[in-house]
Amino acid sequence: MSAICIENVSKSYGGKVKAVRDVTFSVEEGEVFGLVGPDGAGKSTLFNILTTLLLPDSGNIKMLGMDVIDDYKAVRQIIGYLPGTFSLYPDLSVQENLDFFAVMYKSSIAENMSIIEPIWKQISPFKDRKAGKLSGGMKQKLALCCALIHCPKVLFLDEPTTGVDPVSRKEFWDILKSIRKHGITVVVSTPYMDEATRCDRIAMIQEGKIIGINTPATFIENFKGKLYTFKSEDIFSLLNAMESCPLDCNYYPYGEHCHIAFYDDIATALPQFEKFLSDNNLQHDEIRAIAPSVEDCFIEIVQRDFSH
């Protein structure tokens, strides 16, 4: 059974800006589902709709058989929500915040200790500190504790790692791994493409539309172009030069590497490209074929308009 079924959901603000456009997908029970896309793509609006805080203009949503729009009170009992911005009481201590939300959910800390324990262990040394005085990472962990305090069946995490350094991000994903052991369905949004591979399935979202849903592995399998990588001393002058390249290809910097995806016949494209580089006096090392990453897939789908 699907944990969440979303059908043809649309939402616009002030009749003008279409924040979410005709979105349809489903999330399976117990999976970690990633909503990947840049800021302003509609992730937060979709989250607000799924967490019953916002009514869509049209469409249906079922969560574990309940109607999110009509039966929102029941839905609220089974969801946990970690908003994108820190939304706890800064003048209450860590312990007071947790106690407060436990009572609001008619639950208690002791009851669900097994779920929050791995996180609680890390923040309990600061339990008398005011929440507003915690560091960013600690705030996030406290917020996660509060979202889990009633043992929700579905957990929504709105950009939990945005603006967080790579190490804290890794820690956060390790915590998520421990949460899913309790059978909690997790829906998480992120602008970081590299995090997508840690999800069971991902939906790429751009300008309010879902431009692809699949497992990360399937996305990579479905990559249409032939992807090559090489190193160059000056990847950005190369970027300028590529504007005059006659080949049907996608070129972009990728960390210290340059990525190029060919859409022409590869047997002729690669030699033509090498000739183009040498004609333009562009230095490079060996051009190797590589497997695409989720980020490569996103770039391909957006730039070549392969969305379905």
Partner 1 sequence: MKELRMILKKEFIHIIRDKITLALVLAMPIALVLLFGFTISTDIRNAKISVLDQAKDSQSKLLVDKITASGYFQVVAYPENEVEIDNDFKNKGIKLAIIIPPHFEDKLSKEHTANLQVINDVSDLNVASILNNYVRAVVQGYTEEYNQDSQAGFDITTKMLYNPESSSVYMFVPGIITLIMVLVTALMSSITLAREKETGTMRMLLITPVKKIHIIIGKVIPYMAISFIGTIAILIISVTVFKMPINGSLLMLLILCIIFMLTSASFGLLISSISQTQVDAMMITMMGLFLPTVLLSGFLFPLNSMPMVFQVLANVFPAKWFILAIKDVMIKGSGIFDIWMYLLILLVMAVVFIIFSLTRLDKRN
Partner 2 sequence: MYSIEANQLTKQFGEFTAVDHICFQVREGEIFGFLGANGAGKTTAIKMMSGLLLPTSGTATIAGYDILTQSKLIKKSIGYMSQKFSLYGDLTVFENMQLFGTIYGIPRRELKDRIMASLRELDMDKQANTLVDSIPLGWKQKLAFATAILHRPKIVFLDEPTSGVDPIVRREFWKLIYQAASKGVTILVTTHYMDEAEYCNRISIMAEGQIKLIGTPEELKQQMGVDTINDVFVKFVKR
- Looking at the Cβ atoms of 152 and 292, the one nearer to partner 2 is 292
Residues of this chain, 238-297, that bind partner 2 according to CB under 8 A: 239, 252-256, 295
Contact call for residue 71 and partner 1 (CB under 8 A): no
For the bound state, the minimum distance from the C-beta of residue 141 to partner 2, rounded and expressed in Å, comes to 13
Contact call for residue 174 and partner 2 (CB under 8 A): no
For the bound state, the minimum distance from the C-beta of residue 53 to partner 1, rounded and expressed in Å, comes to 6
Residue 137 structure tokens = 């990472």
Q: Which of partner 1, partner 2, none does 239 bind, CB closer than 5 to 8 A by kind?
A: partner 2
Which strands, in side-by-side order, build the sheet including 154-157? 79-82, 154-157, 185-190, 32-36, 201-206, 209-214
When binding is defined by CB under 8 A, the residue of 17, 55, 266, 289 that contacts partner 1 is 55
Q: Which of partner 2, partner 1, none does 103 bind, CB closer than 5 to 8 A by kind?
A: partner 1
For the bound state, the minimum distance from the C-beta of residue 68 to partner 2, rounded and expressed in Å, comes to 26
Q: Which of 77, 122, 72, 120 is nearest to 98 (CA)?
A: 120
When binding is defined by CB under 8 A, the residue of 136, 177, 265, 268 that contacts partner 2 is 136
Contact call for residue 148 and partner 1 (CB under 8 A): no
CA–CA distance from 88 to each of 95, 131, 254, 303 (Å)?
A: 12, 7, 38, 39
Query: Given the rule CB under 8 A, which of 61-69, 96-104, 155-163, 262-270 is the region that contacts partner 2?
Result: 155-163
Query: Given the rule CB under 8 A, which of 31-39, 73-81, 105-113, 174-182 is the region that contacts partner 2?
Result: 31-39
Per-residue interface string for the shown chain with partner 1, residues 89-128, x marking contact by CB under 8 A? xxxx---x--xxx-xxxx----------------------
Q: Which of partner 2, partner 1, none does 51 bind, CB closer than 5 to 8 A by kind?
A: partner 1
Residues of this chain that interact with partner 2 (CB under 8 A) are 17, 37-41, 135-137, 159, 162-170, 191-194, 206-207, 235-236, 239, 252-256, 295, 298-299, 302-303
Interface positions with partner 1 (CB under 8 A): 51-55, 72-73, 76-77, 79, 81, 83, 85-92, 96, 99-101, 103-106, 146
